[in-house]
Amino acid sequence: MLKSARIAVFVSGGGTNLQALLDAQRDGKIPHGEIALVISSQACAYALERAEKANVPAHTVPSSLIQHDFEAAIELLLEQYKIDVIVLAGFLSILSENFTKKWPRRILNIHPSLIPAFCGVGFYGLHVHEGVLARGAKVTGATVHFVNEIADDGPIILQKPVAVQPDDTPEILQKRVMQEAEWLILPRAVSLFCDNKLEVKGRTVRVLS
Ligand code: GAR
């Protein structure tokens, strides 16, 4: 019998990906995981209300703190709630190497493009979709990957493509990528992690059956 992994979800905004995780948990789709903590880098994030409605403890650690204090406050919460795995779900603050190296292969991130396209420094939120449209790409999508010390560089866990349509605006494309890709692959990847079904060799992740 697998122990249930205690999950912390880090957010900064609307929290639709957090909602997808909460819904998946409610529907029994993450049988070996428990969303035990939500941390927001913004006090006004709507994601905090989503956590409250789902009776999940939620705390704000403001991104205005200096990096050392920001990460120290986060670490204290992770310890307090005995967290096993961190999910970055629209978390728009940078975690330093000092932090990420303490959580090897235990931080997952959702990114709204097919990595290695449209990712890295400066590519976050709506900017990703603006970049896709500016380049005239016909296909985009979403990626869940493990986090290492370089932005959007860690081993890729799951990806799902999404078609770009001729009249897309960044907002329309963002919504389609969320609906058709992000909200599906993030809960799936978290569940696979909690089931111990992700085998990492170098940069390649194999999903065990
Ligand atoms: C999502 O599209 C997520 O993939 C993106 O921010 C949005 C947050 O929305 N994350 C990044 O760009 C990280 N590089 P949400 O708060 O509604 O989940």
**One-letter identity of residue 144:** V
Q: What is the pTM of this model?
A: 0.98
Residues 35-57 pLDDT 10s: 999 999 999 999 999 999 999 99
For residue 86, which phi and psi values (nearest 5 degrees)?
A: -110, 135
φ, ψ of residue 134 to 5 degrees: the values are -65, -30
Q: Which atom of ligand 1 is nearest to the CA of 45?
A: 16
111 in active site: yes
Say if residue 3's pLDDT is above 90.
no
**In angstroms, what is the span from residue 33 Cα to ligand 1's centroid?**
22
Q: Mean pLDDT across the stretch 155-169?
A: 98
| 182-208 confidence digits (pLDDT tens) | 999 999 999 999 999 999 999 999 999
| Chain centroid, CA 147 distance in Å | 10
Nearest-atom number in ligand 1 for the CA of 142 is: 4
DSSP 8-class letter at 145: E
State whether residue 60 is helix, strand or coil: strand
β-strand pairing of 58-60 with 33-40: parallel
- Name the active-site residue from 59, 68, 111, 127: 111
Which among 110, 145, 162, 175 is the best mutation to test ligand 1's pocket, defined by most ligand atoms within 8 Å of the CB? 110
Tokens representing 170 are: 């960044």
pLDDT tens, position by position, 163-176: 999 999 999 999 99
d(CA 61, ligand 1 centre) in Å: 18
pLDDT in tens, 106-141: 999 999 999 999 999 999 999 999 999 999 999 999
Task: Please tell me the predicted confidence (pLDDT) of residue 2.
Answer: 65
**Do the Cβ atoms of 181 and 162 come closer than 8 Å?**
yes
Region 84-91: mean pLDDT is 98
What share of the chain has pLDDT > 70, as a percent?
99
Contact 173, 129 (CB under 8 A): yes
* Alpha helix ranges (H) inside 2-125: 16-26, 47-53, 67-80, 97-100
